[in-house]
Amino acid sequence: MEKPFKHVEESQVVISELMLPSHSNFNGKIHGGYILSLLDQIAFACASKHSGDYCVTASVDTVDFLRPIEIGELVTMKASVNYVGNTSMVIGIRVEAENIQTGKKKHCNSSYITMVAKTKEGKSVKIPGLILTNDHDVRRFLKSMKRIEMKKTRSKEYKELDFSTEKHYEKLEGKRVQLKLD
């Protein structure tokens, strides 16, 4: 029988992985693309655990790379369902890197990914609601609501903007651009 609501803790996922030289970029730091891949994997696991269904990434809402991750550090990702709609959920992910020799940890990344539950045929599936049991859970839910509202406003405003170039030439003055139009 399907649960109409689930506690946040029931869907939380934690993964840890040692960062290897094969994960690094040309500067010797861990490649952001590799971290994005791990973020998508843990978001899938967390969302699928909450919904009980297959989930797909609808949008990567925010990815803030705060500090570089070094080769040899142990990266731990902690994912939670921060918000639920009817078929979608916002997964919040915290990324920490630990120097395994010293035990020193650093917060490297915060991410918010929207996932949607789907049937095998690709139809969206209603998901369980969320039981919030403390101020931290409530704050994360409210912040997700605000991010969703801001995203909708930004999208609406962007669509309404007139990008006719001749109306906006003056906005390019003083910018690092040269106009060489035919």
Per-residue pLDDT reduced to its tens digit, 30-70: 999 999 999 999 999 999 999 999 999 999 998 999 999 99
Q: Is the pLDDT of residue 3 over 90?
A: no
Mind listing the pLDDT tens digit for each residue in 96-119? 999 999 999 999 999 999 999 999
H-helix or E-strand spanning residue 131: strand 129-131
Contact 44, 115 (CB under 8 A): yes
Boundaries of every domain in the chain: 5-172
Residue 25 pLDDT = 94
pTM, rounded to two decimals = 0.89
Query: What's the CATH superfamily of 5-172?
Result: Hotdog Thioesterase (3.10.129.10)
Residue 182 pLDDT = 76
Residue 150 pLDDT = 94
Average pLDDT over residues 155-182: 83
**Mean pLDDT for the chain?**
94
Mind listing the pLDDT tens digit for each residue in 66-82? 999 999 999 999 999 99
Contact 71, 28 (CB under 8 A): yes
